Amino acid sequence: MRRTALPQTLSPRAALLFVNGFRGLLLLVLFTLSLLSGGDGLPMMEGGPRFYLWSGVYLLLIAVWFLVREGRLGHTLQLTLAIAADIAMMVWLMAMNDGIHGGFGLLLLPYLAAAGLLSTGRYALFYAAIATLALLCYSGLENWLGLARPSDLSYSALLASACFVTAIATWQLGRLARASEALAVQRGGEIANLNHLNELILQSQRDAVVVLDEDGRLRQFNLQAERYFAGLQRGSPLPELLPLVRRWRDDGCPALATLVQQNVRGRQLVGRLVPVPVGELRGVVLFLRDMADMAEEAKRVKLAALGRLTANIAHEVRNPLSAIRHAADLLAEDESDPTRLRLFGIVQDNTRRINGMVEDVLTLGRRDRVRREAIELAPFVGQLLEQFSLSHPGAAGAVACELSDGCRLSFDRDHLAQILGNLLANAWRHGSRGPGSVRLQAGVADSVLILRVIDDGPGVSEADQARLFEPFFTTESAGSGLGLYIARELAEANDARLDYSPPGGVFRLICHQAHD
**The pLDDT of residue 310:** 67
Chunked into runs of 10 residues, the chain (516 residues) has average pLDDT values of 40 63 81 72 69 84 74 65 83 78 78 77 81 82 73 76 84 82 85 83 83 86 84 84 86 84 83 77 84 78 69 71 74 68 75 71 62 88 87 82 85 87 88 86 85 88 79 66 81 88 86 80
> Which pLDDT does position 6 carry in this prediction?
36
User: Is the Cβ–Cβ distance between 511 and 410 less than 8 Å?
Assistant: yes
Q: 417 near 425, Cβ under 8 Å?
A: no
- In sequence order, the 6+-apart residues with CB closer than 8 A to the CB of 160 are 128, 131, 132, 135, 136
Task: Report CA-CA distances (Å) from 458 to 153, 259, 468, 479.
Answer: 120, 48, 15, 19
Q: Are 438 and 399 in contact (CB under 8 A)?
A: yes
Backbone Cα Rg of the chain: 46
The pLDDT value given to residue 357: 67
Q: In whole angstroms, how far apart are CA 61 and each of 27, 94, 101, 218, 352?
A: 12, 18, 26, 59, 106
CATH 3.30.565.10 assigned to 372-512:
yes
Residues 342, 343, 344: CA angle, nearest 5 degrees: 90
Domain segments of the chain as ranges: 12-183, 206-294, 295-364, 372-512
SS (H, E, C) 307-358: HHHHHHHHHHHHHHHHHHHHHHHHHHHCCCCHHHHHHHHHHHHHHHHHHHHH
Structure confidence at residue 1 (pLDDT): 35
Looking at this protein, which amino acid is placed at residue 361? V
What element of type H or E holds 410? strand 408-412
pLDDT attached to residue 280? 60
What pTM, to 2 d.p., does this model score? Answer: 0.43
Helix (H, G, I), strand (E, B) or coil at 278: strand
**Facing residues of 285 across strands?**
211, 274
| Fold equal for 206-294 and 372-512 | no
DSSP characters over 417-433:
HHHHHHHHHHHHHHS--
C-alpha to C-alpha distances, 216 to 225, 229, 257, 263, 328, nearest whole angstrom: 15, 14, 17, 17, 75
CATH superfamily assigned to domain 206-294? PAS domain (3.30.450.20)
pLDDT at position 407: 84
